[in-house]
A and B are shown apart, each in its own frame.
Chain A
């Protein structure tokens, strides 16, 4: 592993129990978000509006799967293997945000584009905050992931600009934003406040979730408003301690393993072949890099 000199935690062995739990929590949220979003994206295969868009979205899904793999690989340092992390994991052990598990409205391309946009802006902010992580195995991987994110954002923004130029499709974007915005807020929910406090105190992530959410909200609303889309304001409660959850958060955030009814069937579908073949190991068609 390169560039570990100024890291407080060069590897798993340097972590105390509390910090180890926080690192794992951070990694599970990162990896699970990427995995489930990619799985949903693949539903657009052969259904996107043009061949070119189809290939582009499939390419983005592959990128996200690759990012998930990078984060899951760090988790294998904690003793997990791929079967524990994906194939034999219970649905309520997954910690992804409920944004990424929502089914697409059938044939609604705006839904896919808006979701990708809300997600990628959040991922971009999150990754930038991880560039200074005190945990070297995370920090060292950020560059690789960020290198692919530019395309995702460019793809989403270019589509949004063009869709917004037409009344009918602008209304569809607005409807998708209205529907998905509360779910997008769950991207900035902690698993619990103590874990989030450890993540910030130990410098595992350079910014806390509230700062990330503000960054995300500013960028998303200024862009969307520039193309004629209204974005709800952040409706925050008056009283809060460590992390303030917005009032319009959906019932299920996903972060604590509590998911919407759409997740269990998606996981079943994803692991169907593994279960049917009665596998107890993960198949690798390529050696890890």
Chain B
């Protein structure tokens, strides 16, 4: 049985996927993950999740974000100089989304 492993660097961070382990049950999965994924990197916490329990939808099945222009989702109409970093980040995301959609 395969368990997907999620590692959290420090308290407050998101758990991010870092690999998997083979184990017969949750207890052993945690024990193995501790050594395999927590041994060499800074680790505050690990999650293990049975691979079968993870639901997935991918880019082949859906159009993430839709297919039409939805620039109102992004923060782009603030005329403050210099722009706050959140605004800059949002504009960057918008440009990426446009490129991905083929609009830009």
Minimum C-beta distance from B26 to chain A (A): 11
Chain A nearest CB from B85 CB (Å) reads: 40
Q: Which of B24, B27, B28 has the most CB of A within 10 A?
A: B28
- A56 touching B32, Cβ below 8 Å: yes
Chain B interface residue number, banded = 10 to 19
- Which B residue sits closest to A53, measured CB to CB? B32
**Are B23 and A52 neighbours in the complex by a CB distance under 8 Å?**
yes
Among A117-125, A154-162, A234-242, the stretch in contact with B: A154-162
Encode contact with A along B13-56: 1 for CB under 8 Å, 0 otherwise: 00000000111100110011011100100000000000000000
Residue pairs across A and B with CB atoms within 8 Å: the count is 28
Q: Does A151 contact B (CB under 8 A)?
A: yes
B24 touches A154 (CB 8 A): no
Distance (Å) between the CB of B20 and the closest chain A CB? Answer: 10
Which label, helix, strand, loop or mixed, suits the secondary structure of the A interface?
helix
Contacts of A56 in B (CB 8 A): 31-32, 35-36
Complex Cα spacing A59 to B31, Å: 12
A91 CA / B22 CA spacing, docked (Å): 41
Known A158-B27, A158-B28; judge A59-B39 contact (CB<8 A).
yes
A-B contact pairs, 20 of them (CB 8 A): A50-B22, A51-B22, A52-B22, A52-B23, A52-B32, A52-B36, A53-B32, A55-B32, A55-B36, A56-B31, A56-B35, A56-B36, A59-B35, A59-B39, A151-B31, A151-B35, A155-B31, A158-B31, A162-B24, A162-B28
